[in-house]
Structure formats: structure tokens, C-alpha cells
Chain A
Amino acid sequence: MTTTQNLTSATEAAIKPPRRFAFITRSAATLWANWKSRLGLIILACFILVAIFAPLLAPYGASQDGFERNADASPEHWFGTTAAGEDVLSQLIYGSQISVAVGFIAGLLSTIVAMVIGLSWGYIRGFGADVINFIVNLFLVIPGLPLMIVIAAYLQNGGLVMIVAVIVITGWAWGARVLRAQTQTLRSRDFVTAARFSGEPAWRIVFKEILPNMTSIIAGGFFGAATSAILAEAGLEFLGLGDSSIVSWGTILYWAQNSNALLTGQWILLFAPGLCIALLALSLTLINFGVDAISNPRLREGKSR
């Protein structure tokens, strides 16, 4: 839902010509100043560190089995063991790698697609714009998850690459729409008009003049896309449409459901991976509060009505 506010802020934002480095430091400061995005950054940093140092942190291997099956928590296995006799804590730690990676890669790719399409769509006029308009709206209207399920069933065997592809295919449209709205606003600004009169080619105007002014919106789009990528990956894995032989939070849930974790009462097996997914997604959402505040000063903290 973070995208809703982007659309709003996009049309309302006060935009100034580029002053890049100052802008970046100012953005970082604004992000850190906002307690929500600060909290988000801290949580995100934790997850990234866990993902990077997983082999050091995890007490056992990700798919190392041979322990007692379905064991309750104990000093050896803090979160117990799975039905296949694997250590739950180690799986959780290793699982962060997949979610973080999928979130960032899929988020990045769909942001790039959204950027290219959204910007050119916003800049060009006439028939081309109508065609893009049509395609984007088609993707917006077709329900994402059912589409993902069908595509995932079709593109089998691909493992994570497949999941990323599915998420990108179904996930770029929103960003494109938001960016287009922003481009349309910007293209009538004076500095763009000036550039046009000085004879700069269209692509240069779009990517050199307009793009830098949308950094915060693109960043917001990226965090939004990464959030939905993380959730989508987990959903597909849970339905068993991903690669069930890797260890990710989604597959932990899939196997937990498969081995009746609800019945054995090992609710931690369900609770922990889901909580991790939610926390990681939350961290990105929280950061987005700060990002929104950059692009839309009215949303800044402390500035009351």
C-alpha cells in the first residue's frame, strides 16, 4: 500500500532542479531524523548482517539433518527441530539470505523496468503513450497473485530465478504508473522546457534532467517493490510453487505446514519464519515513511499542520 501515498505525493511534491550531492546527504539526514525510518534502517541492517554472516551465526548447516525429529526447544536447538530433523534456528538464519536477496534483486529489477517504461511513457505523447497506457493498465488490472501462480506453474524448474522473474513480470506496473504521473508533472517545468529549447535529445532530457528529480520517488518505489517481492516469494514458496529443496522462510513454512506443525503444536515453526518475513517487510515500509517525507516535505516529522 506504500504506493498509494507515492501517487499522492508525486502529484503534490515540490520539486527543485537537481543539486545532487547536497540532496543525498540531506536525504540521509532526513531518513535518520525520522524515527520510523530510523527504526526501519536498524531492522534492515540487522537482517542484512544476519544474511551475510549466516554461516558464522548458524549453529548448524541449513539442511543438516539427523537430529531428533520434531523436537521441542532445547539448549542444543533453541527453536527445536523440523520433522526432517533439521535445526530450525539455523534454517531461519540461512533463510534470511534468500528473502533479502530476492527482495533486493526483484525489487531492483522491477524498479528498473518501471523506471524505463514510466519515464518514457510520461515523456512521449500520442499513440505510443496510449499503447503503453494500455499495457500498464492491463497488468494493473490482472490480479497479481493468480497470475503469479499460473506463471510459476508454467516456468517450472527455475528455482529462485523463476521466482524473481515472476515477481518482476507481475510487479512493475504500479511503479511505472507513479513515475509517469511524476514525469508528466515535471515535463512542463521550466528547467525541462529550457533544456528542450537548448536542443537536448529527448532521452537526455528524460534521464539527465527529469530522472534525478525523482530519486526519492524511485527509492520509494524500490522499497515498495522489494516489500511485495519478499511477500510474494514467501507466498509462492508456501504454496509449493517455488523450489522446495532450498531453505528459505517460505519453504520453512511450506514444510511446517506439510509436516503438521499445527498438530505437533510446534507453532514456533510457523510463527518464527512469518515474523521474520513481516519484520523484514516492515523495515522497508518504515524506511519508506522517511522516503516519502523527502519527496513530500509536508509528511516530515514534527511539522504539524
Chain B
Amino acid sequence: MMYVLRRIGFFLLTLWAAVTLNFLLPRMMPGSPTDAAIAKLAQNGPVTDATRKAIEAQLGVPDGNIFEQYLGYLHQVITLDFGVSYTFYPQSVSEMVWQAFPYTVILVGFVTIIAFVLGTLIGVLTAWKRNTWLDALPTLTGSFASTFPYFWTALLLLFFLGYVLHLFPTSGAFGPTATPALTWDFFTDVLYHAALPALTILITSLGGWIIGMRNAMINTLGDDYVTFAEANGLKGRTVAIRYAARNAILPNLTGFGLALGGVVGGSVLVEQVFGYPGIGYLLFNAVIGQDYPLMQALFLMITVSVLIANFLVDIMYGVLDPRTRR
């Protein structure tokens, strides 16, 4: 129980630190949200003083000193009300985030789980068939693919599968005429549009799981109890799956929690290339537009998701492996 309490305390402390960092970061950036909006308008022609004032008033750029802003911000965090977006005025931030959230969850969550399961299975296989082509091929291609820059894979898939072969839609989360609804047609349309971005993430993240699992497997396969089990005449496959794989999966699970952060980060690039209306796309636009409220909400959301995932993994780890509960 002490273990769980400690984890919770740590979780809350980290959360607070992340929340605060999240407040400070955008404010350290040069230029104000108004400057960003005007720079955008100025590309279409000169911007007058009146326009500047009107935009400033429309945005309701934060007032008060930094501490008042911080208190106001903490209040926003607690009430989960982040006010109105600057770049997408007059939309509220919560509205935008909730709109984008499902797409990223479907995309990133789904693909990460698939990659984890698939990668772990292949990892078990490679370790079991060590030093055969069944080992070399997945290991080598997996580690090669994991070094592909996310956006590069995205661009190539987009070009060949999207534009040359016309197999998949090239942008958006659903067809231009579809309207979001809880219907089967819409759901399949969303899956169809998510295919290319999903494939990108799968290609680049699968290798990591394969190699992680392979190494963990090889380690456990060398452990005494496995040797003992084998010596006792248990079948090789039974040993691999019942004994070794079950223990080897633990370190991979830790990686799973942390990898979520990396994948969400990578989704910024992927979503950017595919014009996919998820969290990553919003985040990039928020950063460029100096949209403090939106940036804060998104950063918080990403950090909290990763924190929660890690917290759960920690707890699970503690349950599965009593040794960690020191």
C-alpha cells in the first residue's frame, strides 16, 4: 500500500511541475499572440493600427502580472476551462481539444497497441529462433525502419500510396462530404483516412518493440529457472511462452508507458504531413500562433496522458513484480 501511496504522491508532484512548466514555456517565447495574428494578416497586405487594436481586443490578451496570470491559470486547470483560443477565436479551447482528441486517441492509441502486441510477439519469435533468418530479418528490418524519420515515412507513403497509386485518401480524418456521427459508415471512413498515418507510426515504432522484447527474452532464456525447466524436459515452446516470455514482457511494459510520449510527439509530424485534425496538428499550429490557452491545454493533456499511462504501468509493475516494491 505504501508503494501505491508513494506513486500517487509522486504522480501529483510531477503533475504540478508539468502544469507549471507548461505555464512558463509559452510565456518565454518572443512575440505576443497579437503579433502572431498580425504577422499572418500582414502577408495579405499592410495592417493598420486600428486592426491591431481590434485584434487585441478580440483576443483578450492576458492582463495582470505573471502571478495573477498563474493563479488564473491554476484555476483554469482545476476547472478544466481554458478559455478561448487565440488563433481560432472565438472557439473555446476545451471544444477544440475535445474535437481533436478522439482522432489522436484512435490513431496513436490503436496503433501503439497494435505495434506493442505485434512487436512483442515477433520479439519472442526472434529470440526463440535466434541466429536463423527468422531472427535476422525482423531484427534488421525492424531496426532499420525504426530509424526512419516519422515525417519522411509519412511523405513517402503519401506520395506513393496516396498520389501515385490512389489507394488511400491524402488528407483529413474523413471524407469531405461526411459528417461526424456515430454510424458504421462514418467509422469506416475514419478508419480509411487513418490508414496512412497509422501505417507510418506502425512502420517506425514496430522495430523498437521487436528488439526490446528480443533482448529481454534472450536474457530470461539464459536464466537459471528456464534452464532448469528445460532440463526437466519441458517442451521448448512451452518454456518460451509459459516461462520466458511472461517474465520478459515486464521491461517492455515500462517502455510502453514512456513510449506513448514519444509516439504522441511523433504524431505532431505525422499529423502535420497528413493534415490530420488531431492533437499534434493543433499543437503545432498553437505554437506557431503563440496561442497560449490552446498550447497550455494541449501540453497539459499530453503530459497528463503520459503521466497516467506511466502511473498505471508503475502500479501494474508493482503488482506483477513484487521485487520493485521496496
Chain A residues near B26 (CB-CB < 8 A): 150
Determine whether the beta carbon of A234 is less than 8 Å from that of B265: no
- Do the beta carbons of B262 and A144 come within 8 Å of each other? yes
Chain B nearest CB, measured from A166 CB (Å): 12
Q: Which of A64-72, A76-84, A115-123, A134-142 is near enough to bind chain B?
A: A134-142
* Chain A contacts for B218, CB-based, 8 A: 298-299
A27 to chain B, nearest CB (A): 18
**B107 beta carbon closer than 8 Å to chain A:** no
- Tell whether B297 is near chain A: CB-to-CB under 8 Å: no
Q: Tell me, rounded to whole Å, the shortest Cβ–Cβ distance linking B110 to chain A.
A: 18
Contact A4–B251 (Cβ < 8 Å): yes
Tell me which residues across on chain B come within 8 A of A1, comparing CB atoms: 146, 207-209, 211-212, 255, 259
Select the stretch in A104-112, A197-205, A275-283 that faces chain B.
Answer: A275-283
Which of A6-14, A45-53, A86-94, A210-218 is near enough to bind chain B? Answer: A6-14
B261 near A271 with CB under 8 A, answer no
The answer to whether B266 and A137 have CB atoms under 8 Å apart is no
Which residues of the partner chain A approach B152 to less than 8 Å between Cβ atoms?
A: 234, 253, 270, 273-274, 277-278
Size category of the binding interface on chain A: 35 or more
- Residues of chain B at interface, number, CB under 8 A: 68
The contact sample of 28 A-B pairs, CB cut-off 8 A, is A1-B259, A4-B215, A7-B254, A8-B215, A9-B219, A134-B13, A137-B10, A138-B14, A138-B17, A143-B302, A144-B261, A145-B262, A145-B265, A145-B266, A146-B287, A149-B283, A149-B284, A150-B287, A156-B30, A234-B149, A235-B150, A239-B269, A239-B284, A270-B156, A274-B152, A274-B153, A281-B147, A305-B130
A4-B251, A235-B150, A277-B147 known; 18 new pairs, CB 8 Å cut-off, are: A1-B259, A4-B212, A12-B219, A138-B14, A140-B261, A143-B262, A146-B283, A150-B29, A154-B30, A234-B149, A234-B152, A235-B269, A239-B284, A277-B149, A279-B147, A299-B219, A302-B131, A305-B222
**A interface residues (Cβ-Cβ under 8 A, vs B):** 1-2, 4-5, 7-9, 12, 36, 134, 137-138, 140-147, 149-151, 153-154, 156, 227, 231, 234-235, 238-239, 253, 257, 262, 267, 270-271, 273-274, 277-279, 281-282, 285-286, 289, 292, 296, 298-299, 301-302, 304-305
Binding site for A on B (CB under 8 A): 10, 13-14, 17-18, 21, 25-26, 28-30, 130-131, 139-140, 143-144, 146-153, 155-156, 158-160, 163, 207-209, 211-212, 215-216, 218-219, 221-222, 251-252, 254-255, 258-259, 261-262, 264-266, 268-269, 272, 283-284, 287-288, 295, 298-299, 302-303, 306-307, 310
